Amino acid sequence: MTTENIRTYDVIVIGAGPVGENVADRTSAAGLSTVIVESELVGGECSYWACEPSKALLRPALLRSDAVHVPGLDPAVGNPLDAEAVLAHRDRMSADWNDDGQVDWLKSAGIELLRGHGRLAGEREVSVETPDGDTVRLRARHAVAVATGSRAALPPLPGIDDLRPWTSREATSARKPPGSLAIVGGGVVGVEMATAWQALGSRVTLLAREAGLLPRMEPFAGELVTERLREAGADVRCGVSVVAAERIRDSQVRITLSDGGEVVADEILFATGRAPRSQDIGLDTVGLVPGEWLTTDDSLTVTAVPGNWLYAVGDVNRRALFTHQGKYQARIAGAVIGARARGEQLDTGRWAPHSGTADTEAVPGVVFTDPEIATVGLTVREAERTGRDVEVVDYELGRLAGAHQYRPDYRGRARILVDRERQVVVGATFAGPGVAELLYSATVAITAEVPVERLWHAVPAFPTISEVWLRLLETRRDS
């Protein structure tokens, strides 16, 4: 049955992932009536099949890895993880795939929820196919924000569907560890899931086509993760591609590799990147190409569509595929929509309220592997590619008293990049156990453009891993 209702709101948000929710929160707080459209679960990929479940699987693995190396703790934590208990914890951290709590939050923020599949239907209009088959037409007075996120991208391998492969969804929601798991892709999802499932009892083979893992980061990050994964028993093979794969005996997958090798595993996970969820959202009705990433300017406005009413926020714009960075964009998009609705001039200068400057200058990210990898700003390769003149300063974290206290066998490295002309930090990578919480200090140093000379006055407490900041300054002074 199709009924034609036209409902008018100030703002329509398509997609109630973490990013869409935050856009709606900001526009609602600005006094604009806001409806959010969601086709699956309110909370999006992050809450149910990405950040939350994956970190719930990883935390016990990382904690155990540290604890078995702390004298006195070994007898208490020497046994393998209790996989059943970890998976039950993962279920709770994913709210048992129930979005009641998030729906309540939307209500408390004054945001209306419309369940269904949303599609643009021309300027400022959205058509929603509801679960009971109705079509609801929505009209926006001020703005439509597309926050439909991304999905796993599968390679064009012949017969891939017959493999019944895992994507990040199955890898984060599986009911039990497979006996053996082959993972294709040495990026963030690949290494995190290899760490988690190896620790939960699966025999993991990680297949990366580049020369090393985490190829977009400083090489030492991938080298440390490779070392630890191998110590944990995983088979890590770099520089290989999958040329063919088939299901055999229904219960296993046989994979043929470019180097002539073969891997047989119970399950195969493709962790080969993301594609935008933009195929079926009516992009053609506003002159855009379905299935493409949505390009925006720094105010998150889709400039290819005239009239400044269409915004793309979060994964779907490909600016930085992280929940925290999408939420940053959401706060900015919300402020921009509010300002335009009030007829105010935008303030879009560098680091100004209506500009997502951090998306290009300081995107923080933590890979929750053993050891953790924390990065923000430029790597050496990016600095070279963009013609930035930088000083590179390295320090071995294992030399710090705080690192020895943390775990006596500590291995890790830190690197900062200092812009030679401006004398400010423009990039930082920390690789080592427990470094995730160090990252915010580097993010502040970069965004606040703190002169390196002033950092001498930011005294790190003894004995903490933060003392790496002092050691990096000393290394730079003495080199």
Ligand X SMILES: NC(=O)c1ccc[n+]([C@@H]2O[C@H](COP(=O)([O-])OP(=O)(O)OC[C@H]3O[C@@H](n4cnc5c(N)ncnc54)[C@H](O)[C@@H]3O)[C@@H](O)[C@H]2O)c1
Residues near ligand X (CB under 6 A) are 155, 184-190, 192, 209-210, 215, 241-242, 271-274, 321-322, 365-368
Cβ 208 to ligand FAD shortest distance, Å: 17
Among 11, 26, 27, 45, binds ligand FAD (CB under 6 A): 45
Is residue 17 a contact point for ligand FAD (CB under 6 A)?
A: yes
Q: Which residues of 196-209 are buried (b: 16+ CB within 10 A; e: fewer)?
A: bbbbbebbbbbbbb
Is residue 216 part of the contact set for ligand FAD (CB under 6 A)? no
Residue from 20, 212, 356, 412 that binds ligand FAD (CB under 6 A)?
20
The distance of closest approach from Cβ of residue 281 to ligand X in the complex, given in angstroms and rounded to an integer, is 20
Nearer to ligand FAD, 69 or 331 (CB): 331
Of residues 10, 38, 66, 218, which one binds ligand FAD by CB under 6 A? 38
Of residues 21 and 315, the one with the C-beta less far from ligand X:
315
CB-nearer residue toward ligand FAD: 149 or 222: 149
- Tell me: does residue 302 bind ligand FAD (CB under 6 A): no
> Who's near 115: CB < 8 A, 6+ residues apart?
37, 38, 39, 130, 131
| HEC readout, 108-123 | HCCCEEEECEEEECCC
- Residue 245: CB minimum distance to ligand FAD, A: 21
What mask of x and - would describe binding to ligand FAD in positions 240 to 279, judged by CB under 6 A? -------------------------------------x--
Q: How far is the CB of 96 from ligand FAD (least distance, A)?
A: 17
Residue 226 phi, psi (nearest 5): -60, -45
DSSP 10: E
- The residues, ordered by sequence, that sit 6+ positions from 390 with a Cβ below 8 Å of its Cβ are 378, 380, 383, 417, 418, 419, 420, 426, 427
Identify which of residues 326 and 432 has a Cβ nearer to ligand FAD in the complex: 326
Only one residue has tokens 């470019």, namely: 258
198 binds ligand FAD (CB under 6 A): no
Using CB atoms within 10 A of its CB, is residue 284 exposed (0-12), middle (13-18) or buried (19+)?
Answer: exposed
Decide which of ligand FAD, ligand X, none touches 463; Cβ closer than 5 to 8 Å per partner kind: none
Angle formed by the axes of helices 219-231 and 188-199, nearest 10°: 20
Q: How far is the CB of 192 from ligand X (least distance, A)?
A: 5
Q: Which helix (H) or strand (E) holds 230?
A: helix 219-231
Min dist. Cβ of residue 422 to ligand FAD (A): 28
Q: Nearest residue to ligand X, using CB?
A: 187
DSSP symbols for 344-398: PPP--STT-TT--THHHH---EEE-SSS-EEEEE--HHHHHHTT--EEEEEEEGG
Q: Does position 34 bind ligand FAD by CB under 6 A?
A: no
Please count the helices (runs of H) and the strands (runs of E) in the chain: 16, 21
Site for ligand FAD in 97-156 (CB under 6 A): 117-118, 147-150
Give min distance, CB of 225 to ligand FAD, in A: 15
Total residues contacting ligand FAD (rule CB under 6 A)?
36
Q: Which of 456, 446, 8, 429 is nearest to 222 (CA)?
A: 429
Q: Point out the annotated binding site for NAD(+).
A: 185-192, 273
The answer to whether 34 and 162 are in contact (CB under 8 A) is no
Helix (H, G, I), strand (E, B) or coil at 99: coil
User: What are the residues binding ligand FAD (CB under 6 A)?
Assistant: 14-20, 37-40, 44-46, 50-51, 54-55, 117-118, 147-150, 168, 172, 189, 277, 281, 314-315, 321-324, 326
